[in-house]
């Protein structure tokens, strides 16, 4: 049979410059430290190249394989990855996406540049960025112990990817994982049952303990060290658990199985058994949650960055299709209703980008109070908005969007993850409610940030004051505060995005955001912008590249 040559089909979505075609990201980078470095410019081109996109596809298509034993029956607990996984990690580590910013406190733009790089490379493949993100976050947590930081941080910040399972002293670079949640507790880590018994001395530095228990989700099990929560005599405590001890022996770390996940399939999420496993105490006994709070803030930031990148990639792919596909006598991008959908999606992605980069900037500036609330707000809102946005973008391609080769299907499977990881929507919403009532400095920092744009938009001013009044009147002991937590967090997140869009985006984009997201001139689905915003659609769509 002779198959006709295809026509009216868009070209492949590759050979793109993902940084320079993203004005919102590029402008945010310039605000954080001037023009992007040549390295970051090259990074954007590599991320959009056909070769990098193919490596991402291969890593997702060929998931990791668990090998509990070797050929002779010895317990090895190793995970085999496709070569694409190692290529992707080598690029990420080489670009400084791990713990480098924590080693350069005088570099005021380090976290922002790293955030931009993380978003660009997320558009290649998201799964391998799990260990990258946890390594970044571990750098923050390790600051609680000077000796452990001196031992681990230089290799966690290294730009050399070294996957060998050998002692830390022989490695050129290291990665970190985490073991927090257990079957019976999930996000309620205080319900953890894993036990940690102190010993007089052991093969690990600092205060040594032996841990015994089970971890329900242990991500990146081939990492070199893990931050693990366990019940010590003084209560829930954080520990640094190496995979390989300094004498070359392997720390007891039994991989029971790999999770069969909806998305994020290249990443080897695992269940782990610990039995007399060596660990070094990080922070005081009974202060495990307090010790990891900085780490949680860093991983939640990466959830915002990753979800923003997923949004941006979905919108870009939808616009690319619409610009190259004729239907009903015109290009799809020129059809009025499709323009409404694409402009609405672009509006959401731009607001997410501005918020994500402002949060990274807060890390650079040491604005810990703003980061404390802003990251939790962004984690809830941006991650929640990602799944419906990707679903709508997928529909822009019709049946082609539902086919794996076009990239949207993988994004759709990936979209819910960041809303679940590091605390689901409810956990984040309740965290915000507690912070609003107990941490007045954080509320003050958020209020100051929202008020910087006071007077620029009467509608935004009214919306912001209503959201702040709702926040100030919270009684955390009242069931109604918890019942309405999502409503409160949503309003604050929209107000924060609104302030950033009004400050930084073109007037047409800012007017569209205020009308659609603040005033409420919008329906319940994407693509319901009012007719008086039709003129803004061209600028919104153009800003997708």
What are the DSSP E strand ranges found in 283-376?
326-327, 330-331
Note whether 370 and 479 are same-domain residues: yes
Q: Are residues 285 and 307 in the same domain?
A: no
Domain end call among 228, 260, 289: 289
Residue 485 is assigned to a structural domain of this protein? yes
**Domain for residue 210, yes or no?**
yes
Q: How many CA atoms lie within 13 A of 428 on its CB side?
A: 33
Q: Does one domain contain both 63 and 179?
A: no
Cα 421 to Cα 407: distance, rounded to the nearest angstrom: 22
Q: Indicate if the alpha-carbon torsion angle 363, 366, 372, 373 is positive or negative.
A: negative
Q: In CATH, what number is assigned to the domain containing residue 263?
A: 2.40.110.20
Which of 177, 74, 164 is closest to 132 using CA atoms? 177
How many CA atoms lie within 13 Å of 84's alpha carbon, on the beta-carbon side?
21
User: Block means of pLDDT (10 residues each) for the chain, length 545 residues?
Assistant: 82 95 96 88 97 98 96 95 98 97 86 97 97 96 93 98 97 96 85 94 95 94 96 97 97 96 96 97 94 90 98 98 95 97 98 98 95 96 98 97 94 97 92 91 96 96 96 84 94 98 97 96 95 95 92
Clarify whether residues 430 and 312 are in a common domain: yes
Q: Which H or E element spans position 459?
A: helix 458-472
Are 265 and 63 in contact by the 8 Å Cβ rule? The answer is: yes
Question: 3-state SS of 85-113?
Answer: HHHHHHHHHHCCCCCHHHHCCCCCCHHHH
How many of the other CB atoms lie within 10 Å of CB of 337? Answer: 9
Rounded Cα distance between 125 and 53, Å, is: 8
Give the pLDDT of residue 200. 92
Whole-number Cα distances in Å, 263 to 44, 127, 135, 421: 24, 8, 21, 12
Which residue do the tokens 């069931």 mark?
Answer: 479
Q: Do the domain assignments include residue 504?
A: yes
pLDDT of residue 108: 81
Distance CA 224, CA 247 (A): 14
Instruction: Give the separation between CA 167 and CA 434, rounded to whole angstroms.
Output: 42
**Boundary (domain end) residue, out of 262, 289, 316:** 289
d(CA 61, CA 488) in angstroms, rounded, equals 40
Q: How far is CA 244 from the centre of its chain?
A: 28
Alpha-carbon separation of residue 453 from 369, 447, 459, 503, 515 (angstroms): 19, 11, 12, 7, 16
Task: Kindly state the DSSP code that residue 213 receives in the 8-state scheme.
Answer: E
Same domain? For 125 and 246 the reply is no
Tokens of 307: 């979800």
In a domain, 9, yes or no: no
246/114 same-domain check: no
Place of tokens 């992707």: 88
103 belongs to a structural domain = yes
For residue 199, is it within any domain? yes
Domain contains 401? yes
Structural domain count, the chain: 3
Output the six-digit token pair for 68.
């509990």
Residue 95 lies in a domain: yes
* DSSP state letters, 355-387: HHHHHHHHHHHT-HHHHHHHHHHHHHHHHHHHH
Does 269 share its domain with 303? Answer: no
Query: Looking at residue 477, what is its pLDDT?
Result: 77
- In this structure, the answer to whether residues 332 and 274 fall within a common structural domain is no
pTM of the entire structure? 0.97
CB 19 within 8 A of CB 27: no
Residues with Cβ within 8 Å of residue 41, at least 6 apart in sequence:
19, 20
What was the pLDDT predicted at 3?
Answer: 78
Q: Which residues contact 38 (CB under 8 A, 6 or more apart)?
A: none
Q: Domain ends where: 231, 254, 289?
A: 289
| Same domain membership, residue 452 and residue 404 | yes
pLDDT at 475: 81
Q: For residues 491 and 466, is the Cβ–Cβ distance under 8 A?
A: yes
Helix (DSSP H) and strand (DSSP E) numbers for the chain: 19, 11
| Sequence-distant (≥ 6) Cβ neighbours of residue 6 within 8 angstroms | none
Do 186 and 319 lie in one domain? The reply is: no
Q: What is the pLDDT of residue 464?
A: 98
305 with 280, same domain: the answer is: no
**CA–CA distance, 542 with 545 (Å, rounded to integer):** 6
- Residue pair 300/376 in contact by the 8 Å Cβ criterion: yes
Closest CA to 432 of 359, 481, 383: 481
User: 463: domain CATH number?
Assistant: 1.20.140.10
Asked if residue 181 and residue 132 are part of one domain, the reply reads no
The parent domain of residue 398 ranges over 291-542
């Amino acid at each position: 049979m002779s198959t006709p040559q295809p026509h009216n089909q868009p070209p492949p979505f590759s050979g793109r410059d993902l940084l320079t075609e993203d004005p919102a990201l590029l402008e945010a980078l310039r605000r954080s430290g001037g023009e992007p470095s040549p390295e970051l410019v090259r990074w954007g081109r590599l991320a959009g190249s056909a070769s990098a996109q193919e490596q991402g596809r291969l890593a997702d298509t060929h998931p990791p394989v668990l090998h509990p034993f070797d050929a002779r029956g010895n317990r090895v607990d190793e995970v085999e990855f496709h070569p694409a996984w190692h290529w992707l990690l080598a690029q990420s580590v080489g670009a400084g996406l791990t713990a480098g910013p924590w080693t350069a406190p005088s570099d005021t733009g380090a976290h922002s540049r790293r955030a931009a790089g993380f978003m660009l490379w997320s558009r290649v493949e998201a799964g391998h960025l799990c260990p990258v993100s946890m390594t970044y976050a571990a750098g923050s947590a390790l600051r609680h112990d000077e000796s452990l930081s001196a031992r681990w941080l230089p290799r966690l910040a290294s730009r050399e990817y070294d996957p060998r399972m050998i002692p830390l002293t022989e490695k050129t670079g290291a990665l970190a994982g985490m073991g927090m949640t257990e079957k019976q507790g999930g996000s309620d880590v205080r319900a953890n049952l894993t036990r940690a018994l102190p010993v007089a001395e052991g093969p690990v530095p600092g205060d040594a303990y032996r841990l015994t228990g089970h971890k329900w989700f242990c991500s990146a099990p081939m990492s070199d060290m893990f931050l693990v929560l366990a019940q010590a005599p003084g209560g829930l405590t954080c520990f640094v658990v190496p995979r390989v001890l300094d004498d070359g022996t392997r720390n007891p770390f039994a991989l029971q199985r790999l999770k069969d996940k909806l998305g994020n399939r290249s990443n080897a999420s695992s269940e782990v058994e610990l039995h007399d496993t060596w660990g070094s105490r990080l922070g005081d006994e009974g202060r495990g949650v307090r010790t990891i709070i900085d780490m949680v803030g860093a991983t939640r930031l990466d959830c915002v960055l990753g979800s923003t990148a997923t949004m941006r990639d979905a919108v870009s792919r939808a616009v690319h299709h619409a610009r190259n596909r004729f239907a009903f006598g015109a290009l799809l991008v020129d059809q009025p209703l499709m323009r409404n959908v694409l402009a609405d999606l672009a509006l959401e992605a731009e607001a997410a980008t501005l918020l994500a980069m402002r949060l990274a900037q807060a890390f650079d500036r040491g604005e810990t109070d703003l980061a404390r609330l802003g990251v939790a707000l962004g984690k809830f809102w941006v991650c929640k908005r990602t799944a419906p946005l990707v679903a709508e973008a997928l529909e822009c391609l019709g049946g082609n969007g539902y086919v794996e080769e076009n990239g949207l299907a993988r994004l759709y499977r990936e979209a819910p993850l960041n809303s679940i990881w590091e605390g689901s929507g409810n956990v984040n919403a309740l965290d915000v409610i507690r912070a609003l009532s107990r941490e007045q400095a954080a509320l003050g920092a958020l209020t100051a940030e929202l008020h910087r744009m006071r007077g620029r938009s009467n509608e935004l001013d009214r919306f912001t004051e209503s959201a702040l009044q709702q926040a100030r009147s919270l009684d955390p002991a009242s069931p109604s505060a918890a019942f309405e937590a999502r409503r409160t967090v949503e309003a604050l997140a929209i107000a924060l995005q609104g302030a950033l869009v009004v400050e930084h985006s073109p007037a047409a984009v800012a007017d569209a955001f205020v009308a659609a997201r603040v005033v409420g001139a919008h329906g319940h689905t994407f693509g319901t912008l009012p007719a008086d915003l039709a003129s803004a659609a061209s600028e919104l769509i153009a800003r997708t590249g």
